[in-house]
Amino acid sequence: MSIPVPHSPLPLGGRHIVLGLSGGIACYKSADLVRELSKAGATVQVVMTEAAQAFITPVTMQALSGMPVVTSQWDAREPNNMAHINLSREADAILIAPASADFLAKLAQGRADELLSLLCLARPVERCPLLLAPAMNREMWLHPATRRNVAQVLADGAQVFGPGHGDQACGEYGDGRMLEASELRDELIAFFQPKLLAGKRVLISAGPTFEALDPVRGITNLSSGKMGFAIARAAQEAGAEVTLVAGPVHLATPPHVRRIDVQSAQQMFDAVLPLAKGQDVFVATAAVADWRPAALADRKIKKDGRGRMPGLDFVENPDVLAAVARLDGRPYCVGFAAESHDLAFHAREKLVRKNVPLVVGNLGPATFGRDDNSLLLVDAQGDRALATADKLSLARELVREIANRLAAAQVAGA
């Protein structure tokens, strides 16, 4: 019988977002963005410029947001007739998506000739962040005037999400696409995560390794890499500079994470060791093969009818985690133990044998390939279970744990 996974809190639960639309064909993506933000728990108040209304109607945005759309600074529905004040005071953030080249120019110059630019100027900057998702033709994005305007709005405290790269509505190809709704949702979720690892450098290994037998066969395991990729995302959300060394998996790289792809255990060792000294944290989630064939056949090994594979000898692979733990000035090392039985016993044995401060245990057959997991934190003082949850929620909890341990170690060493 499978264990039911508890629903995690909605990542934008309790947040009130003012979503501003300036003019551009990317307004069609804003409709989906409202749905994505709402599903993540946010309430969304849409504000549209006159130009935005040429691309999508206020009726559509009202139907999706469940709230009246505001289009004018003279909106008589406001008792004090000050929509620009009221809207900005109620918001946890103002997200302009799409932010056109013209609108970026307005922000850079401090112009306020309509409601959306007016409320951006009137917002209390210390508690209402301004987030911008640019959308324009590639030449407009690369124009020196736009570059100056982006630099100015960044200097004034705004944050820019994107733009993306790819096909454009005009038929051209390049930078300038507004990020997709799901990407902007994730950027907003990450923005609100506590920056517990700000200024830290985190190195993560993830996924399986593949040990070749011959040109067409090899030995691997069932690790999907999902837990390691979730930890990479959670660490980046927490403000860390993250490098992810990944075995052969079919997963998208988390935003703003540097990724290095490898195949074998030796390649993972060769990628991790040179990087490890410059890191604050190393999280070894990868399910690295303990053994590899002593020799790689240069041709496919054929069956010979005798019921066994001829000449198959194995040698031990280098131990990535133990090697990092032996470094002078080593990072804070977190090992993972994917076991089939006696989880607490084997995780503690790994803690001692690898000489690391924390080992995270899980049952491999119960989690490989799944979107949920259960973790056991094992250290010198004992062990503590993290209840079954989705892997990203567990990753965020583990990041909090690591941040707390780093802070405690810093206090103890002061």
Tokens of 354: 């690898």
3-state secondary structure the chain: CCCCCCCCCCCCCCCEEEEEECCCCCHHHHHHHHHHHHHCCCEEEEEECCCHHHCCCHHHHHHHHCCCCECCCCCCCCCCCCHHHHHHHHCCEEEEEEECHHHHHHHHHCCCCCHHHHHHHHCCCCCCCEEEEECCCHHHHHCHHHHHHHHHHHHCCCEECCCEEEECCCCCEEEEECCCHHHHHHHHHHHHCCCCCCCCEEEEEECECCEECCCCCEECCCCCCHHHHHHHHHHHHCCCEEEEEECCCCCCCCCCCEEEECCCHHHHHHHHHHHHCCCCEEEECCECCCEEECCCCCCCCCCCCCCCCCCCCEEECCCHHHHHHCCCCCCEEEEEEEECCCHHHHHHHHHHHHCCCEEEEEEHHHHCCCCEEEEEEEECCEEEEEEEEEHHHHHHHHHHHHHHHHHHHHHHHC
How far is it, in rounded angstroms, from Cα 49 to Cα 71? 6
> Which of 3, 393, 196, 394 has its CA nearest to residue 385?
394
What is the C-alpha to C-alpha distance for residues 144 and 26, in angstroms, rounded to an integer? 22
Dist. CA 178–CA 132, nearest whole Å: 10
Residue with tokens 């998506």: 97
Active site residue 170: yes
Main-chain phi, psi angles of 253, to 5 degrees: -70, 130
Spatial contact of 396 and 8, defined as CB atoms under 8 Å apart:
no
CB 187 within 8 A of CB 33: no
Please identify which of the residues 27, 120, 128, 170 carries the catalytic annotation: 170
Contacts of 275 (CB under 8 A, 6+ apart): 203, 243, 245
Which amino acids are annotated catalytic? 170
